[in-house]
Structure 1
Amino acid sequence: MADKIKLGVYGAGRGEHLVASAEVNGFELTAICDRSEPLLRRAKKKYGDRHIAFYRDYDEFLAHDFDAVIVANYATEHADAVIKALASGRHVMSECMAMFTMAEGVRLVEAVERYGKVYFFAENYPFMRQNLEMARLYQSGDMGRFLYGEGEYIHPATVDQRVSLMSGPEHWRSWLPVTYYCTHSMGPVMLITGTMPVQVNGLIVPHDYDDVHQNGLGSIKMDDCMSILMCTMDNGALAKIMPCAKLKDHGNRCRICCNKGSMEWGQGHDGILRVHREPFDCPEGTAPNACYHPGWPEGFEDAGSQGHGGGDYFTTYYFAQAIREGSKPKIDVYMATAMTAIGIQGYKSALQGGVPMEVPDFRKPEVRDRYRHDEWNPDPARHREGYPPSSVLGKIDVSDESLAIFAAKRKAYEERL
């Protein structure tokens, strides 16, 4: 393997989980930064016997000696951290979401263009083996033209599970609208078919006051049940996207319907991919249905040992490839901003009853100008006139008793780190 790529990781929670995959793909961890002392303490326990520096201040971290950064801090704060890293001369792999406001998306795109460093978006769900197999079949031409797709990411959680993921009522997971965390659902559709969204209609099921895991002790202040984003793609196809939903049906689903057949895998199918053709479209002597467990592409058989069904392996693999070869990233900044924008624009749509909203193409400077000052966002801490609440119902209150119980659980969790 070529010389190691020196790596810094910003975010000792999710970021630390990517280290193993990064090191398999030729990165050498040199520094970790996180403003959370408990998370940093956990990282020090794990890497204390290695020559790794630890920081709580991001600017001090960026003064360290490394070539590339994994940005995995709070999901609503990625864009500014990425821009700082690019300006410091580092290549960046950013966790999802790509940006929190449309104006951040403009600044992000222009920073990538200005500084000329690799920006890779770490959306990992397209790289699960079933999705890789669907991409292979679609790109071979055997399935024909893409007409309709579905992507679902369903992840219910107990209060105790939430405690490990969010620090309290100010944490982004407490108030981020359900449409926003959408790239795990849209990413596979885009990567399989090579299409981009151009329009979105959003609808939301409002907050469920009867679900103790949403309401009760979870300090949840948004609609956490489910939403639908109906996206029009740039080839005229439609894609029904279900972002991070809390329905009681944990799992993922991806369905791709084309004019010569369809492909699908998801909940209840134990990883089995179903490829279907109508009898009148089948080549002579073949069955209309093929159901099988896809293998990994040749040469990548070990990917499955890494996180998120192999997805973490491929994000760091393609990040390293783009750095070493100077090639176009597999998921570049224009794909990343479009993939993220459907959640922002979809929430605008849902608040207006599902009206269609543009998904802008930030490859075009004249389009960027329309969104250059669009800082519209649902963060309660940044609220100003004209900005939305975190729920289509308006403000959702959480009892002091629930907050106190949640805080005690969180304190106990941090003490165990």
Structure 2
Amino acid sequence: MEFKVRTPTELIESVDERTGLIDQLNTAAGMKGSQFEDFYKPLITQLAEYVLECPLERDAYAEPCGALRFGMTSALFALRHTTTKVFANGQGSERRRQLTEQYKFAAFAAALASVPATVHARVQVSTGEPGKKLVWNPYHRAPQLYRWLREVDSRGRYEIAWRTDNVIITQANAVAFSADIFRAGTWVYFDYEVIRDMYDAIAPAKKTGKESPLWLTVYEGETLAREFERKAAVGPYTPAAMPPGVSSESVAAIVTPSQPASPAAAPAAQPNPATASESTAATTQPSGDPSTPTEAVAPGPAEAPGATSAPAPNPVHEKAREMLSKAPPHVAEVFTAIRLKADYENLRKTWTVTEEGSMHVTVDTVKGLGRSPGDIVTDLKDHKFCTGHFTMQAPKRTILVLTPETAAILLGEVDAHVQ
């Protein structure tokens, strides 16, 4: 697909008109308007200059400007998750107070700087006349797409296509690309530990080895951004209206022919042959939506033959959602962090559910989340997610007793993310 070059400012405004992400990022950053414009906004502009209208990947954010929108969305989720867990263990309260704003900016920056690696692995950009095509290379002296196009082609047009080859981009490559996003001197006043953790968190899905708390924050940001896109793509289910001449009673008669239709259905039971055959096909043909056949064949009146009532809401799930909505963000995010742990499936095998519905989990479940397990357990107890703990002797280990509502959240029966 061919595009005409637009300025980074135009692209940001285009994305913001559809999403309102700039105001959301400003709110999440907790900055005054001028501070956001001076410190945060330039990085968004740099990313827009680098990727222009490139999509991200085939399965998500595949539209023009998709890469830019993904970067802004993942940065937003990362900022919302910059609670105490971005700090490394052993940092005292005074040092945390001093570094809070630095770590927030680092999470934002790492999320944006992770985008170019994915773009180069999934997308190929070219420009020039047929037979004289030039392909965008991240190691050009003007690696930003906007600057590269101005240097190699005065036409102001370029083509974007999905790559057909398997390009492996390592985290080291991703960190190298980030130098083209960050302006010189960006990090001169930052603490060395913050800078180290920031570079370590770039392109988190590609990292191997020990995970830092900031890495987990950026990784959650990317994961939630993709989950947000998946849910938005599915959209809400909207039941279709009955075809002309078809009522719920006539459908019930088709589904259960041994039962006589009610008198009220008699007038609708004699449509013309063409309408009847089309209606029958419409009501029996699978649609791809698991809920569609149920909606199409459900009898109308409660006294109709074969009528079934809708299942009652699960009270445990309802209470779990209520508890999550009332819990502080840093408590609710514990469950998201556990679900995103690399060894989640192995941890899950160690959990046991009692006859009363409560769950016993090892304290390992809340380790490696950027905060001490003791602090996390205290929070869970304070907000009624955990009722206590006990110690097993063989082998010796601490077991947490979680409520049925907490079990539903950890097992994925209730969405752990509350917006």
Q: Which has the higher contact order (CA 8 A, sep 6+)?
A: 1
- Structure that is richer in helix per residue: 2
Bigger Rg over Cα = 2
- How high is the TM-score relative to the length of structure 1? 0.24
